[in-house]
Amino acid sequence: MAEDHQMLIDGVKSFFEYDENINIIGTVNNGEDLVKLVTLKQPKLIITDIRMPKMDGIEAAKIIKKQFPHIHILAMTMFDQPDAIKQMLNAGANGYILKNSGIKMLSKAISSVSNGETFFDPNVAFNFMNGYVNDNVTIGKSDKVLLSNREKEILHLIANGKTSKEIAESLFLAKTTIDTHRKNMIRKLDLSSGSELVKYAIDKKYQF
């Protein structure tokens, strides 16, 4: 595990201390040491932050994947921007989660990535993620759903009975953009249809 905040490392180690399926064989605080650790111990999976001293997680992932293509890489970071996700996936990452998603999400991500699946945090860049979704992709589910300010704005308009076309006109956006936001919210909220999204929006109307 590579993370420049030792407190987070200690928390993860403490949580998995008695887990029979997960054995943390080493931790480091920068990308250079991560490459050295992987070369020495060749673990099945590594967890790495993106922004770290000496060498970032993206560059470290590139080096590791080139030398050890069989090793799975899980990115755990605060960056939810599409560019960061794209760079990390292109570097060879098999999963991507946010640090504020919680330890249970991390446990699920580790299990999925270890089994050869691609794992996505439910709250990261759904527009970007759509291009990667297939039968071998797991999307995590979290009790804590993080809707963006734009999504909350659209949800409020949905609760007021506005159609995608009307919302697009009022926000000066394309209707296809609103439709994409709707799909993303359905996925994030673990709903099954547009009608369920409308019901959810009405139920939450005065909580925005």
Give how many domains the chain has, as a whole number. 2
Within a domain: residue 144?
Answer: no
87 and 107 assigned to the same domain? yes
Among all chains, which residue has been given the structure tokens 């200690």? 10
Domain match, 25 and 77 both:
yes
- No. of helices (H) and no. of strands (E), the chain: 10, 5
Half-sphere exposure of 75 (CA within 13 A, CB side): 32
* Same domain as 85, residue 167: no
Mean pLDDT lowest for which of 45-54, 107-116, 181-190? 181-190
pLDDT at 138 over 70: no
31 pLDDT above the threshold of 90: yes
104 and 171 share a domain? no
Residue 1 lies in a domain: no
Residue 49 sits in the same domain as residue 12: yes
Tell whether the model's pLDDT for residue 166 goes beyond 90: yes
Looking at the structure, do residues 91 and 179 belong to the same domain, yes or no?
A: no
| CATH number of the domain to which 24 belongs | 3.40.50.2300
Domain stop point among 99, 121, 139: 139
Of 139, 159, 192, at which residue does a domain stop? 139
71-102 as b/e: b if 16+ CB within 10 A: bbbbbbbebbeeebbebbbebbbbbbbbbebe
Residues 95 and 169 in one domain: no
Residues 120 and 98 in one domain: yes
Domain residues for 173? 149-207
pLDDT for res 205? 67
110 and 83 within one domain: yes
So what's the pLDDT on residue 127? 45
Ranges 17-21, 139-143, 161-165, most confident: 161-165
Q: 134 and 48 in one domain?
A: yes
Given a cut of 60, whether residue 141 has pLDDT beyond it is no
133 shares its domain with 180: no
Q: What CATH code is carried by the domain that includes residue 194?
A: 1.10.10.10
Last residue within a domain, chosen from 110, 139, 168: 139
End-to-end, the C-alpha distance of the chain in Å comes to 38
Report the range out of 8-22, 24-38, 79-93 with the highest average pLDDT. Answer: 24-38
User: Do 28 and 127 fall within a single domain?
Assistant: yes
